[in-house]
Amino acid sequence: MFNKRVKIKELLATEPSGQEVIVMGWVRSFRNNQFISVNDGSTNNNIQIVAELGLLDEETIKRITTSASVKITGTLIPSQGKGQKVEVKASVVEILGDSDPEKYPLQLKNRPSLEFLREIAHLRFRTNTFGAVFRIRHSLAYAIHKFYHEKGFVYMHTPIITASDAEGAGEMFRVTTLSPDNPPKNDDGSVNYKEDFFGRSTNLTVSGQLEGELAAMAFSEIYTFGPTFRAENSNTARHLAEFWMIEPEMAFYDLEDNMNLAEEFIKYLIRFAMDNNREDLEFLAQRLAEEEKQLPQDKRSEMGLIEKLEFVLNNNFERITYTEAIDILLNSPAYKKKKFQYEVKWGVDMQSEHERYLVEKHFKKPVIVTNYPKDIKSFYMRENEDGKTVAAMDILAPGIGEIVGGSQREERLDKLLKRMEEMHIPAEEMWWFLDTRRFGTVPHSGFGLGFERMVLFVTGMTNIRDVIAFPRTPKSAEF
């Protein structure tokens, strides 16, 4: 059998007793024609292979280059060098795949920038930084399912292609099989989507929430975890055109229940990464500390990455209303010194600079803001008794701003219909959604957590394009 290999992470934790092992991976370095450093992606740590002089012929030595793939058969022995307790004394070295050192763009002698690595995203997984980031991303994805499974939630796969716009944003990617050069037209010159594949205009989803609500009205508690799409022309370090969202929907939950679940969920994910990816987190913490040394003192984080994560775990999130948040901003030194680029007044949608001021300067911890003005929120959010605000909640995180957006949903049919009319959302097209309010409506709530923003927060990376394998951004759909 070909694949009897042992993963390097497992080998490095094994007591050496002269047992024969098979290692497969990619060469990180080769020195003195004798010492091969090999990595297989299971850990950032390499294992040293010792090939005694005379074992390798000249042709094989030439082929052992950075990123060539190898199969090593040998004996696990105590390491003679520093840094690890075991190494493999090779008896057979096979080259599985060559790598031309003149053309391979990742060489040990130079540390490539993150910008350069985005241009070769198909190879950046082979660096220590991206090895750590994507192992943590995997752990967080697993922890999401574990958290909700243990709570008895049902995992729903909501559609990628939809005819509804959950956010009312209008910034959606159209899905069509019609010819772009000569689409069928109606008498008024508009495109006749009745001749399209689905017989109507369809788009890539911006959220699985509306369909999630339908399921919550039968299973009580469900969650979705899948890709969502926004056609926003936002070239920022925190926006993607394609990203993943976790969206739980819970019957018999009010806004406070919703906030409690979201805070517990975020802490659970952080704890899971701390318990299962400590080595990778420590590597990224060290990397971040070195990067911040290049910044002026006032731009540096007050805490290291591990400290920040532990601080979030050990403290309750601050809970304030939108009105209180605006008052804090209006009374802040930043506002008085005109340091905010965007306007601050009751009724505006807070910008990232405002959110980050609240969490990084004022409270210095995550903040949950509730009861936003209804005019800046979606049609499905429950109207409060004051008639001006809705039972919405956003969780703001240090370094990122909004990481969670959610609300108690409007379960009262008359109120929902009135709000849809105000926002020009055709009720006849949403008949299926309104049926949940007609047949056994209940108080219910839900939220959306942007997965990439969560990965960004846990890994300490500063650009969202570095926590998703192949980022989709304006004018960029490579790989």
What tens digit of pLDDT does each residue of 321-335 get?
999 999 999 999 999
Cβ-contact 206, 228 below 8 angstroms = yes
Cβ-contact 5, 20 below 8 angstroms = no
Cβ-contact 104, 66 below 8 angstroms = yes
Distance CA 97, CA 92 (A): 16
pLDDT at site 81: 77
Cβ-contact 372, 390 below 8 angstroms = yes
pLDDT band at 291 (very low <50, low <70, confident <90, very high): confident
pLDDT over 90 at 461, yes or no: yes
Nearest CA to 48 out of 18, 85, 13 is that of 85
- What would the mean pLDDT of 227-245 be, rounded to a whole number? 90
Can you read off the two tokens belonging to residue 10? 């497992």
**Cβ neighbours, 10 Å, residue 438:** 9
| Percent of residues, the chain, with pLDDT higher than 90 | 85
Going edge to edge, which strands form the sheet with 174-175?
A: 161-162, 202-204, 174-175
Distance CA 55, CA 90 (A): 8
pLDDT at site 170: 59
Going edge to edge, which strands form the sheet with 318-321?
A: 154-155, 221-229, 242-251, 444-450, 401-408, 389-397, 367-373, 318-321
pLDDT band at 2 (very low <50, low <70, confident <90, very high): low
pLDDT band at 168 (very low <50, low <70, confident <90, very high): low
Whose tokens are 């060489």? That residue is 107
Distance CA 437, CA 379 (A): 14
**What pTM was computed for the model?**
0.94
Nearest CA to 460 out of 306, 330, 350 is that of 306
Cβ-contact 53, 33 below 8 angstroms = yes
Can you read off the two tokens belonging to residue 306? 């591990």
**Can you say how many angstroms the Cα of residue 305 is from the centroid of all Cα atoms in its chain?**
17
Cβ-contact 29, 3 below 8 angstroms = no
- What would the mean pLDDT of 117-124 be, rounded to a whole number? 93
pLDDT over 70 at 471, yes or no: yes
**Cβ neighbours, 10 Å, residue 390:** 27
| Strand bridging mode 154-155 / 221-229 | parallel
Cβ-contact 87, 27 below 8 angstroms = no
- What would the mean pLDDT of 90-118 be, rounded to a whole number? 90
- What would the mean pLDDT of 449-472 be, rounded to a whole number? 96
**360-417 pLDDT per residue, tens:** 999 999 999 999 999 999 999 999 999 999 999 999 998 888 999 999 999 999 999 9
- Sign of the dihedral through C-alpha 250, 256, 262, 263: negative
**127-145 pLDDT per residue, tens:** 999 999 999 999 999 999 9
The mean pLDDT of the chain is 94
| Percent of residues, the chain, with pLDDT higher than 70 | 98
**Cβ neighbours, 10 Å, residue 171:** 15
Kindly state the greatest CA–CA separation across the chain: 85
Coil, strand or helix: which one is 139? helix
Radius of gyration of the chain (CA): 27
pLDDT at site 167: 59
Nearest CA to 395 out of 369, 376, 371 is that of 369
**11-70 pLDDT per residue, tens:** 999 999 989 999 999 999 999 999 999 999 999 999 999 999 999 999 999 999 999 999
pLDDT at site 398: 87
pLDDT at site 303: 85
Domains located in the chain, CATH noted: 8-107 (2.40.50.140), 126-171+206-466 (3.30.930.10)
Phi and psi dihedrals of 445, rounded to 5? -145, 170
**270-288 pLDDT per residue, tens:** 999 999 999 999 999 999 9
pLDDT band at 300 (very low <50, low <70, confident <90, very high): confident
pLDDT over 60 at 7, yes or no: yes
Query: Element (H or E) spanning 93, and its range?
Result: strand 86-97
